[in-house]
Amino acid sequence: MTKSIFITGASSGIGMETAMLFANKGWQVFATMRHPKNVHNFDEMENVVTYPLDVTDNVQIEKVVNDIDQKYGTVDVVVNNAGYGLLGPFETNTRDEIKQQFDVNLFGMMDVTRAWLPSMRAQHKGVIINLSSLAGLVPFSVLSMYTITKFAVEIFTETVGEEVAPFGIQMKVVEPGPTNTNFNGRSMKEGSIHIQDYDQMIADYKKNSGSFAGGTPDIIANLIYEAATDGKKQLHYATPEVKQMGMDYRRKEI
């Protein structure tokens, strides 16, 4: 029987690479994004169905999930990948900007998870994979609000994972490090409050992020595939570099 996967934020980067990988391995893929009409990478792939989805729109989430559930049945794997980074120290971010960061990176993930859990409980199986970040293990200044959302993704995955485990559902977290995607471009928004004291700090971040070599999205897509298929009771999936940096930081804090 063909397995199926639901992916948010599949228009580019890690989300698109993940959708392509699973499709090429014969899975039925439901690739969601805000503007599917602008994405043509899946046009020739019969086992990929695209849906318009903004993870901050709970009505749309329910509509898409119900449509898939009724037409195809519940999915085997959900990948919560949609997200972006809010650049700037805390003081440079407005309340609305901070709220939007949480709505996309955290509450959107929660709402997608909530929408799929009833059918997964009914079939007594399923894997939910949440995309965190190195920033979910090691705090980053100038990306403080993004960092906070990713730390929250980590603990959400762990605690809710314990709640749903008795129903045969696994929750896992994938932690990419710097990856050569459009994260520092289209997926980055800068806080709108200008405070001169922070100018040099922001300039240094922009300079360093532009020169920091990252891995390719296929590395993370393969980590996601491993998490989806290995059958292990494993919570964290990270590249060796990210894992080491996370462990080094925690050791400093003990």
Q: Is the Cβ–Cβ distance between 41 and 24 less than 8 Å? A: no
> 103-156, pLDDT tens digit by residue?
999 999 999 999 999 999 999 999 999 999 999 999 988 999 999 999 999 999
C-alpha distances out from residue 58 to 107, 161, 179, 194, Å: 10, 22, 29, 33
- What phi and psi, each to the nearest 5 degrees, are found at residue 77? -135, 140
> How far is residue 169's CA from residue 6's CA, in Å, rounded to a whole number?
15
- Show which residues are catalytic: 132, 146, 150
Look-up of token digits 């849906």: 51
> How far is residue 82's CA from residue 60's CA, in Å, rounded to a whole number?
15
Question: How far from the centroid of its chain's Cα atoms is residue 247's Cα?
Answer: 22
pTM recorded for the entire structure: 0.93
Mean pLDDT, the chain, as a whole number? Answer: 92
State mean pLDDT over 183-193.
74
Radius of gyration of the chain (CA): 18
Helical (H) or strand (E) element with 146: helix 144-164
> 5-31, pLDDT tens digit by residue?
999 999 999 999 999 999 999 999 999
Q: Is the Cβ–Cβ distance between 48 and 29 less than 8 Å? A: yes
- SS3 at position 79: strand
Q: Is the Cβ–Cβ distance between 15 and 29 less than 8 Å? A: no
